Amino acid sequence: MDKIFLHGLKADTLIGVYEWERQQPQTLLIDLDIGLPPRRADDDDIGSTVHYGEVCEAVRNSLETRRFHLLETLAEHIASLILNDFPAAWVKVRLVKPGILPDVREVGVEIERGQPVE
């Protein structure tokens, strides 16, 4: 199982159940593990893999224009984005909303999704 990973991606978005949470963008920390498509060992072409720079740009751009109440919904959105727009076999999305609760370092959610089986 080959994968690429992006850990600690920072992205700002409006998110939260409560109105006060959605008054200004919050910075989320995003970890992504993305299953790579099969390829030859000597294939050195970026087009044969998942371009992690483009993944970062796509995630950030999407979060600038979308609003969410739940981290779970946001995680599903990111997973769908990656599976639909990149040649990913599967994706694990971990979202962290730091500092949202007193005396709790991290609050978050983690999901794993794969391409549908044909």
Question: Which residue out of 3, 10, 92, 97 is catalytically annotated?
Answer: 97
97 tagged catalytic: yes
Q: Longest Cα pair distance anywhere in the chain, in angstroms?
A: 52
- The catalytic site residues sit at 97
